Structure 1
Amino acid sequence: MPRACEGQPAMRDLDPISIRLFLATLEEGSIARAAARESIVPSAVSKRISDLEAQLRVPLLERGAKGAQATPAGQALAHHARHLLQSMERMQREMAGYVEGVRGVIRLLASVTSLAGELPADIMRFRADRSQIEVDVEERVTPAIYRGVREGLADVGVASEFASHEGLQVFPYRRYALAAVLPAGHALAREPAIPYADLLDDDLVELSRDSGIAQVFDDAAREARTSRTVRARVSSFETVCTLVARGMGVGVVPLYLKAAKERALDVRFVPLTDAWSQPRSFVAVRDFDALPVAAQAFVTHLRASAAAAG
């Protein structure tokens, strides 16, 4: 630990109140006006500044007929003091924000299905009144989302029911319908609804093998006692729709993409009739009570948004 030079007293930590009163005196031009601004008696301000000068062992103010003016040492102190007090104010605001749950960074893993649906809008509504909270979003496949939350790589996950979420707390988020997406001229394009098995005579465009729904399609083909031919595996439902429009096959995507894709790509959406074709997505956490306050608020917001949507 550094020691004071011989013959000199050790310098105590500077008092923020004394520094603030010193700055007020400079800004007001007199001790009396500074005292009035800070609601304190002038003698107390004078004593604080005298103590500060004694502690720093240099004069800080020149007192005269024109009021109080900074000495060169006082000007140097004022420069540092303003930065110091601003930093302290920012620190206090940030700490208050954490206590009130209005500041923080939420690590979110989300599936392609949820990001193609209402989740982005829910995130933006959450942040509209909480601009100090950041939501860092990373897209993952459903099994990796639940695994990542379980391993502490994220605070919150949003994914479908098409993977194990053992060991996690999950809350229902939104239910969505799956539909076949077909070229506009396909023989099934005008049907009101079809089973998945009706698609198995065509080439298929699907999400990547490690997505949660891939296993569902495998199981459905086995139940239909037939095989399926996957022409392309891609990373998003938008790409599935694009490749179907270009004649590479047929696919299965969320029905909520219909309004955006049917006219733009000249494809048709036909709802599926299978029992698994109306899955629910979940909000997953390891332990809600152990989450940071900001993440708790986010989960509560998602649940409320889902409840309001029915």
Structure 2
Amino acid sequence: MRRFVSLASRASAAASTAVAVGTSLIRARGPRAISSLPAAATAAVVLGAVLLPAGAHPPAAAASMVRTAADSGAVAQPSGTADPVPADELFGTDVRRIPTTRRVVALTFNAAWNGAGVDTVLKVLRERKVPATFFLTGQFADAHPSVARAMAAEHGIGNHSYSHPRFDDLSSEGARQEVLEADRAIREATGAVPLPFFRFPYSETSPERIADVNALGFADIEFTADTNGYLGTAGGMSADTVVARALDALTPGEIVQMHVGAPDGGGTVLDAQALPRLIDAIQARGYEITDLRTLLSTATP
């Protein structure tokens, strides 16, 4: 019995070491740090990251950190060559609004099908001097590298999986591969360091898949309102309804989801067409367009 207890104690100590190593590696070097590790080491890293939100950082301190950054509007920048890191409060949940009492709204665009509206969207954002975040699939980045680079040159880039599958149909390993393959494609296409933010295809979240994504160092950033502009006029949408859907959900910290293309590959991209009016309407109601990079940790990795 004593021998069994001794072995159990050693195993517990080894597990604690794995947790510490895994946590430190992802925090210091970002999600790609684990992609080339041997299987045993990867398991240790993932274990460390999965347990991180529950025990490694006091929730009160984490909440204070993210609220301070969001409420001040500060954009945290990565230190040295380390990847940016999400604020700790973002782990363990699907984030559907910025945790703030300030009258701010974040504009986000998914890019999965085509880039028909990208030029218009970037032009409007540039002219209005407002930020946005673009969530790219890896397939989009591989197919449209010049478009991906244009987005990354001016705005933050998030991860929207590689092939836009339904994550409910994936195993943990399948989910991991989707996220890491998209991360690789985005980095290669843009030449930039993407944000540690992931958005599930179809907003199909679950505690298990969120834990998988968090284990890789990504926070799950969903949305408060989807404009449904991607449905197009054939789907009963118009520029008016796009603006109305975003304004109906207006609240401090709202995250608006739009798209830069359309699934059928043609027609008018309503989100691009409606964007100038949407920005004007948000600002006319006393709200500021903010950057999702306010959700990055202000701590040095």
Q: What's the TM-score bracket when you normalise by the shorter of the two chains?
A: under 0.3
Question: Which is greater in Rg?
Answer: 1
TM-score by length of 1: 0.22
TM-score by length of 2: 0.23
- Give the structure with the larger helix fraction: 2
